[in-house]
Structure 1
């Protein structure tokens, strides 16, 4: 029998998110489920590189710290945890959680790892077309990773079979939340309306502090109180796919119609056609109403899911070299611009194979390219960054910036340089028939 309602909290919106709001949620949110959404496109590609170096790694670097912070209370309160912190290695991540549970004295805890999203072998041996017109087979050894976006089915099955923690690799972000709803309410895999409602709820929650006013805040235009104590969101969901959003009483931030409206539009190109692995969701008729309990959302719907699954492709794309240095006092801007011109000329004199070069004065023209930037700042920091196919050429960019200490205009200080490999991301579509999703079980 379906529950009358469930309460789902979002304890993280990205890999480096704060941990204390999740502790507040599990202790005071009266939750049934706590979701950690920690996996961006580039995050999983970098995790695949770590796994290539060490087959026992490849999961989220904060896995033990984040899960450890909430595990005891989640067991006491029967708050079940769902997360994509498995990244490139959900099975190893499940093993780590099992060990962590044993260390805390929680024996017999069931942990399920959702597998099947890694299609790197498939894409490396097949000419899968990417969104840029290349094929994955053309990438050769540059191909780092390929992960298909799975849906909520395996998450729901794991919960049905008694998992206290479900850990995934690449799934659609809303699917983390939809899995809990399908388990609790018994929604059918082809009930497009309810799956569309669930996807809208998951989309609202997935970025955590964005919904409660964090990214929303803009002093003087959109003032938000208590950002240092920002609370993370909770959705109380009923079997008909209606949700009321709130946060723990007394926590910072706000849940209002205006924050909800802004989050609904986040990363949405066509509100009538939001393609996810479970459903093609339709947000075009969504309505928010402020109530005593929070903000109520209605009006979402959906239609049949896409025939193919999106896959995120990571590949090596050269190196970026970067250098920065500061100038202060009268004429700081002029000296900064002279320094950048020196760097440009030096790189030309050395005939280095720099494919892209960015030279910018941070705070003046690094982000804002419109007219009206301040022309008389008392301090500036300049940045030079260049891309090259080889590490040595890329490193020369930062080296030329550091050389400005004694070879450039007066008064430079605080210089640093770095070089890093570029792992670029593109997308492709994979036939569902090539995906073999499943569960791997661990018990503490």
Structure 2
């Protein structure tokens, strides 16, 4: 009952009780402290019973009052469910330095590609050259899967496959290491011989590269090592030098002997003007039908220019050299009657092309024209091929492009051949 009474009365009396205790403590302590200071007689005390108490007794009573006050505070806290006071916050701990976001796998390695779907109609006359392009057809010209990745701050890799043919074919497959001012490349890569060769297939204006490039550099690639040295700082002009050693057997072909091809390309690069001067040297062996094996030098020399002016784009190339190129391997649109392979394995050749294109302002259309020539044997007349072409591009968006091309091919000793081609390209 006593505890319940206290609980019942406590909320109503706690404030008054605390005030009374504090008042009593003040009355007891005040006179004592004044007397101790010796500033005259102590002031009259309302409680005369405490006037003659000693200092020790006064301190004891104050202690008792303080003890009772603490007990009352504890009961009040228990009644109201109060929590202990939170400790005062200490000095704030220093925050660790922010860490850079780790590079994710998606940022290190990237995937892309494109697909080119094509149809062409060949109007070859009955007496025309017997070539692959006499067959009208639909085909998948290219279906590329491209993987690129960063292997640290100064290294990277690229792997490209074409899955549009009858078998999967490796295109680019190389490792790059950068050591300023040089860039080293090891694997299968493009030979930097001409602007058209270096241009990605998805960005070509014409439906095909020139016949000279297709015959002299089948697949545009070879296997070996190359170093690209930036000479801009040393020469105070945007020039770089590319040097390399390759098998000399072309794309996806291992070397069959000790001989290697070496090449050098001097490149001049400005935003609206680029130029290449290239040379390649090596040796090759071939065995003609019924004859002995012949060992002969292989040579290539070329000059390539690319320029832009307003909405116009111009580029061209001249190439000359000494044989060793396959009779086949040209794209169906451009393939002509070149005769047996061995007939051109030890001959002097030359070829050139010139091309102009114009983007129609404020439209998605681009018009282009191209003329090219290739002579597989400069010592013999009547076997040169001349090709004139007109075409248009329609870029629906950065991922979708439609292309048209009309090719007129002249084989000198035989009637001309006309081919119409259409291509749709999707990038991803």
More helix by share: 1
Q: Which has the higher contact order (CA 8 A, sep 6+)?
A: 1
TM range (shorter): under 0.3
- Over alpha carbons, which structure has the higher Rg? 2
More strand by share: 2
TM-score, normalised via structure 2 length:
0.23
TM-score, normalised via structure 1 length:
0.22
